Structure 1
């Protein structure tokens, strides 16, 4: 069974960032973030489940995993751009 995975990268075709969440079944969804904050701890479960975010989030474990990894990925991206 695949592990949970969350990754982010700078979007090459438009301003912002892309993220990809892969759930335990190996299903991946991509999402575009126009001007993301450094944390999404404030968002509710329903926000991440929207069709334009990551609708394959099915439980609190997924939500918490994405929120934790999002912070790590944004810090990494900002540091690589010299904005840390």
Structure 2
């Protein structure tokens, strides 16, 4: 079983301008999904698990463990970019 993995980086558009952020979540089976955030919130604690499962976010966030991991890592990464 692979380890859970979360990555976040600035998204650069075709003109070289920063245009939001990308996130990638890899689940325990090694399946990865990516999502673009135009204006990511500083916190996602208020977001329910169904939000991340939606097709346009990360449908491979399938259980409470994934949800907790994603939110913890998101908060760790967004601090780096919002500072």
Map 1:4-83 onto structure 2 (within 5 A).
4-13=4-13, 15-78=19-82
TM, length-normalised to structure 1? 0.90
- Whose strand fraction is larger, Structure 1's or Structure 2's? 2
SS at match of 1:77: helix
How far did 1:77 drift?
Answer: 1.9
TM, length-normalised to structure 2? 0.91
Q: Which residue of 2 aligns with 1:2?
A: 2
Give 5+ residue unaligned stretches, structure 2.
none
Measure, in 2, the Cα distance between the counterparts of 1:76 and 1:3. Answer: 23
Compute the RMSD of aligned alpha carbons: 0.9
Deviations 1:43-71 (A, max 9, x none): 00110000000000110000010000000
How many equivalent pairs are there?
79
